[in-house]
Structure 1
Amino acid sequence: MDLKKDVQKQFGKSAESYVNSTIHKDGKDLLKLLEMSSINGEEKLLDVATGGGHTANAFAPYVKKVTAVDLTPEMLLAAEKFIKGNGHQNVDFVQGDAENLPFPDEAFDIVACRIAPHHFPNINQFISEVYRVLKTDGQLLLDDNVVPEDDEFDQFYNTIEKWRDYSHFRAWKKSEWLRLLELAGFEIIEWHRFEKTFHFEPWCNRMKITITEKEKLAQYMKGASEEIKAKFRVVIEEGQIISFQGEAVVLKAMKR
């Protein structure tokens, strides 16, 4: 699928910037994922779409084994350098597709996936694969950007994300996540909403978009309705977009 090639292309050239991205490495959402998990130290954990490796790195000291999987080889190399640099020796790195995981049924006690599913073109297939590789009573720890329930707000956020990053597929509504997971056989145990402030310049620069496209994107955001600008807390100073606010959901679900 072309979108998956786009993902590899985008993240291949942005691997190091994701390892060093403040929003990815320092998020309170990562601490919440750890806090929500039930761990006794014997678990095998799969980190799907590991990206810069921050989730795998955070869980490595607390579980028996971590397997970090990612579609993009450059990302895996950057994650491995980061995680091994922190002294963790219990992490394996595997190239693989979140919608076609290269692991047997019921291989893991925990599956984590953080700030990635908005890149997956078939979210149902991803959920099905997670369910398959989890043991019964296994935990799914999911964290991703979401959109408000209002369709106009949904369209605005997904438009600017796709504009900045052509490998973006869709940020889903909170209600869509809850529905899809329950229909797949998961029970939602706990969930939290996080507000996320995006600083416009580093947000754009992480994806290496051109100055021309950045200016067009800024004009689009400045031209949005007052309701949209208020909802997303768009901060404009001296005609420049400084920041805006999105949201994420962090949840724990169990395979029943």
Structure 2
Amino acid sequence: MTSLVQQKFGESAADYAASQVHAAGPSLAKLANLILPESHWRHLDIATGAGHTALLFAPRIAKATASDITPEMLQQAKRLAKERGLNNVVTAIAPADDLPFPSTSYHLVTCRLAAHHFAKPESFVRESARVLIPGGTFALVDNISPTDEDLAFRYNAFEKLRDPSHGRALSLAEWTDLIDEAGLEVESAEVMDQEIPFDPWVERMRCKPQTVERLRAMLEEEPLKSYLKPTATEDGLSFFLREAIVIARKPKETT
């Protein structure tokens, strides 16, 4: 049975392949600076979407596996890899909370701008830790909620109205707790503002006119307005999401 996530992202796969937020957002450049892969590495990108993060590292490593639960997204990843002449990229259907890969298989596991869709984020982190080799790197990029419970509820309601497959954006503290519980050691954690152009954001999810108007209205309601900082310019309406970038390491085995 097709899930709501598969349905929504299957419909918009080509849009995500072309989305500048996903294809060339600041967090992608940040990952490139924070992670220096070696040529023998094997990389798993979880919930890869159109494959942008997998394709970022593929030219510098031995093999990149782009995994997702949406076939249409993996088709886009294959297309982009072929266009760039990357022959070391493979795709795989794989749920984030039950990865069909052997333990200690990858030097690098990443997940970018997808974890807020996961029903079991704790299982996703545990599975990521399981498939990493000792000493391997885990990198998470995702939109995060504020720590204030009421504001977090309003923010997630805003996201879910636009995209019914949205689960819940965790706070940075919640993510670092889950990473710690999975036995990984956080090496760095930072938050950056990501500007989101409003019109492409709603168009990617095929929002109905009444939904678009309600989302616009919510952007003007406090306390959400102060958190998302909507700005109207000659290029159109935009707002800001908070993105966490967390790098963690799986401890090396001791003898």
* TM-score of Structure 1 vs Structure 2, range by shorter chain: over 0.9
SS in 2 for 1:214: helix
* Matched AA of 1:247: R
Distance of 1:221 and 1:58 partners within structure 2: 33
SS in 1 for 2:104: coil
Residue of 226, 229, 233 corresponding to 2:229: 233
Q: Please name the residue that 1:254 is paired with.
A: 249
Instruction: Report 1:164-243 matches (<5 A).
Output: 164-222=162-220, 224-225=221-222, 227-235=223-231, 242-243=237-238
Distance of 1:123 and 1:231 partners within structure 2: 24
SS in 1 for 2:3: helix
Residue of 79, 98, 101 corresponding to 2:99: 101
Q: TM-score by structure 1 length?
A: 0.93
SS in 2 for 1:193: strand
Distance of 2:196 and 2:29 partners within structure 1: 19
Distance of 1:10 and 1:150 partners within structure 2: 29
Comparing 154-163 with 64-73, greater Cα deviation is found at 154-163
CA contact (8 A) 2:155 2:224 kept: no
Corresponding position: 1:114 with 2:102: no
Q: Please name the residue that 1:124 is paired with.
A: 122
Q: Please name the residue that 1:43 is paired with.
A: 41
Corresponding position: 1:71 with 2:66: no
Distance of 1:23 and 1:252 partners within structure 2: 20
Comparing 190-199 with 108-117, greater Cα deviation is found at 190-199
Q: Please name the residue that 1:245 is paired with.
A: 240
* Matched AA of 1:33: L
SS in 2 for 1:60: helix
> Would you identify which runs of 4 or more consecutive aligned residues in structure 1 move more than 6 Å?
none
Q: Please name the residue that 1:53 is paired with.
A: 51
SS in 1 for 2:225: helix
Query: Alignment RMSD, CA only?
Result: 1.6
* Matched AA of 1:244: F
SS in 1 for 2:122: helix
Residue of 135, 138, 146 corresponding to 2:136: 138
* Matched AA of 1:233: K
Residue of 149, 153, 156 corresponding to 1:155: 153
> Taking every aligned residue pair, what percent have the same amino acid on both sides?
36
CA contact (8 A) 2:114 2:142 kept: yes
Q: Please name the residue that 1:12 is paired with.
A: 10
CA contact (8 A) 2:218 2:224 kept: no
SS in 2 for 1:61: helix
SS in 1 for 2:60: coil
* Matched AA of 1:91: V
Distance of 1:38 and 1:61 partners within structure 2: 12
CA contact (8 A) 2:186 2:249 kept: yes
Alpha-carbon displacement from aligned partner over 1:56-95 (angstroms, at most 9, x marks no partner):
1110111110011010000000111011111100011111
Distance of 2:136 and 2:196 partners within structure 1: 33
